[in-house]
Amino acid sequence: MRPPVRARRRTLLRAAAAGAAALAAGCSGGSRSVQVAVVWSTSELDRFREVVAGYPGRVQVVSAGNDIDAFLRARHLAGTSPDVAILPRPGLVTEYAQRGWLSPVRASTEYAVPAGLGELLTAEGQRYGVWVKAAHKSLVWHLPSMLPVQPADWDALVRRTQELAALAQRDGGPAPLAIGAADGWVLTDWFENVLADVAPESYNALARPDADWQGRPVRDALDRLAGLWSINGAFVGGGRRALLTQYEESVIQVVHTKRAVMLVGADFTADVADPFQRGPEAPVTFRFPGTQPGGGPLIVGGDAAVAFADARGGVELVEWLTRADSFQPWLRAGGYLSPNTNVTIGSYRDAVSQRLAEEMRTPRTLRFDLSDQLPGAFTGSDGVGIWRIMQGFFADVTDGVRASEAIRRATGLLAAAARSAGGGR
């Protein structure tokens, strides 16, 4: 009796193993495909899927959701890292590279990015990532009918804000500014634009480990911000209300309900503005104003592709992504800015994105999003790091705290956060 029983058990075990293998194969789709983890979701995810559909091999795109860092750390622990990941911050690329998680990557011959960007993705002289998507973060949006004359420089912006605020308080007109202060990155984008203008030379130093967060440049930038933010009536519903306003709601306040005139936002603001546009009037943009007319340095953000160590087919896919024509489907659909200067301006869909792409190619004026380069938790997320500190500063200056006091508090917190994240003096 025994042997048959055992044989049957073995058959069962085999069947179970085969079933599990089939299930695993089913998940990855037969022959092995290259797995890519991305931060995008919804329409951006669909666009990226269209992009990789043009890749000769099979590609599986996984959306890692809001916190791709946590996702990848957990996957690494479990030994199931994807082959390729698109990371939203260059800080993550160097961090992973130093931990030995990444494999060096190659770029195709058609890959060229503005000076200063490529270095952000290298560690110990090796290239560990390539830029695949860029964001233009130095824009102010408004409806043409609400603001006939665009402020040329920072002082003009302050004056215009004061006039509009006084008007709003007297006859209940629209507030001068909408701001999604509930999302910390909105405030860091403001800060970076001002900082790059008041101290273009010191900007990049703040991303380095020995950064001085209590020095003159940071204090000057915060002081300039405080001057504008503390104007009575500057924001829809006041400062406390602005801190509960998310970025997308602030866009609606400008393009739909017209309760505010201007909004500082990146090029992707168009994605929100489109569905909420009322009537034929589309919002237009001008450059974030600086000391000189024409604005200060341009702040850009971006997403970088990396290949994990012992990935299969990862390096090849990353190389393919750097070709000038890989992102054509997304360029045609709109809502995409390429970091690659070999992508012809003509391939952008409309005049606005063509102008933005041109601006990004102007030499020596680019600064990369500072908060995205900061180490560890300092880089910020909801309730954490520089996001939280800038929200505290915003709350202070809109609540009547003296600028000097608010700056003292903010720089103290910034320095402490930098230290505990392993940087700063």
Contact set with other proteins (CB under 8 A): 23, 27, 35, 37, 41, 60, 62-63, 65-67, 69-71, 73-75, 77-80, 82, 181-184, 237-238, 240-241, 243-249, 251-252, 256-257, 272, 275-276, 377, 381-384, 387-388, 391, 395
Alpha carbon distance 351, 110 (integer Å)? 24
From the CB of 85, what's the least distance to other proteins, in Å?
A: 12
Q: Based on CB atoms, which residue is closest to other proteins, 191 or 247? A: 247
Q: Based on CB atoms, which residue is closest to other proteins, 112 or 413? A: 413
Alpha carbon distance 425, 407 (integer Å)? 18
From the CB of 241, what's the least distance to other proteins, in Å?
A: 6
Q: Based on CB atoms, which residue is closest to other proteins, 182 or 304? A: 182
Dihedral of the alpha carbons of 11, 15, 20, 23, in degrees to the nearest 10? 170
Q: Based on CB atoms, which residue is closest to other proteins, 160 or 388? A: 388
- DSSP, residue by residue, 281-345: ---EEEEPP-SSTT-SSEEEEEEEEEEETT-SSHHHHHHHHTSTTTTHHHHHHSS-B-S-TTS-G
Residue appearing with tokens 């290298």:
122
Largest CA distance in the chain: 98
From the CB of 247, what's the least distance to other proteins, in Å?
A: 7
From the CB of 388, what's the least distance to other proteins, in Å?
A: 6
CB 198 within 8 A of CB 221: yes
From the CB of 253, what's the least distance to other proteins, in Å?
A: 9
From the CB of 390, what's the least distance to other proteins, in Å?
A: 10
Identity of the residue numbered 135: A
Q: Based on CB atoms, which residue is closest to other proteins, 179 or 360? A: 179
CB 389 within 8 A of CB 414: yes
CB 120 within 8 A of CB 347: no
Alpha carbon distance 231, 235 (integer Å)? 9
CB 424 within 8 A of CB 209: yes
Identity of the residue numbered 205: A
Q: Based on CB atoms, which residue is closest to other proteins, 246 or 291? A: 246
Alpha carbon distance 123, 63 (integer Å)? 26
From the CB of 410, what's the least distance to other proteins, in Å?
A: 14
The residues with which 304 forms a beta bridge, in sequence order, are: 87, 131
Q: Based on CB atoms, which residue is closest to other proteins, 177 or 252? A: 252
Q: Based on CB atoms, which residue is closest to other proteins, 4 or 275? A: 275
From the CB of 328, what's the least distance to other proteins, in Å?
A: 25
